[in-house]
Copies of this chain bind each other. A is one copy, B any other.
Amino acid sequence: MPAVNRASFRTRSKILKTAIDLFNRHGVQGVSLEQIAAKAGISRGNLTYHFKRKQDVVLGSLTVLEEQMRLALAPAPRVTTPQSGAEYMIHIVEALWNFRFFFNDLSHLLTGDKLLRQRYFLFQHWTIDTLDRGLQEMVDVGDLTPMRAPNGTRVLAQNMWGQWLAWLHMQHIESPAALKPKGAALYECALHHWALIEPYFSESYARALLESHRQLLLGPKTRKAAT
Number of copies: 2
Q: Classify the secondary structure of A's interface with B.
A: helix
B107 to A192, Cβ gap below 8 A? no
Q: How far is the CA of A147 from the CA of B207 in the complex (A)?
A: 13
Give min CB distance, A132 to chain B, whole Å.
13
Number of A interface residues in the complex (CB < 8 A) = 35
Q: How far is the CA of A167 from the CA of B161 in the complex (A)?
A: 11
**Which chain B positions have C-beta within 8 A of A150?**
191, 210
The closest CB in chain B to the CB of A106 belongs to: B173
Contact check: which of B104, B166, B203 meets A148 at CB < 8 Å? B203
**Which chain B positions have C-beta within 8 A of A148?**
198, 203, 206-207
Across the A-B interface, the 7 shortest Cβ-Cβ residue pairs: A162-B166, A199-B199, A155-B195, A151-B195, A151-B198, A166-B166, A107-B173
